[in-house]
Amino acid sequence: MSDSMTLRVRPIEQDATLPDGRRVVVRVGVPEDPYIPKRELDTVALELVEDGQISATVNTVLGPEHESEARRLALDVAARLESGELEPTAGALEPLADSIP
């Protein structure tokens, strides 16, 4: 699969509005690393971005080629955040990041 069709190049992003009114972006993709070129990274992270800053991040079991699974994960996390079922913390995200949807 070419890099143009992976999470290295195009992370999945899903907007969510928390019950308290804050807005976050759920992002699933290969994270930035200033020391390693993206093409060499296989780690896929689940991140919450609030006001342009990462507020929570956990590594997932997904690979860079798992775009459809990443999309399902982002949608699931966004829905759970909006319902209040999930707290916007790394600890709350971790169990979801450890399975492939």
Partners of 95 in the β-ladder? none
- Residue 81 to residue 74: CA distance in whole angstroms: 10
Between vectors from CA 58 to CA 27 and to CA 73, what angle results, nearest 5°? 45
Enter the pTM of the model: 0.91
According to the model, what pLDDT value does residue 101 have? 67
Torsion 90-80-97-46 (CA) sign: negative
- Residue 83 to residue 1: CA distance in whole angstroms: 36
According to the model, what pLDDT value does residue 32 have? 85
According to the model, what pLDDT value does residue 28 have? 97
According to the model, what pLDDT value does residue 13 have? 97
According to the model, what pLDDT value does residue 76 have? 96
pLDDT in tens, the chain (101 residues): 445 568 998 999 999 999 999 999 999 999 988 898 888 889 999 999 999 999 999 999 999 999 999 999 999 999 999 999 999 999 999 999 988 76
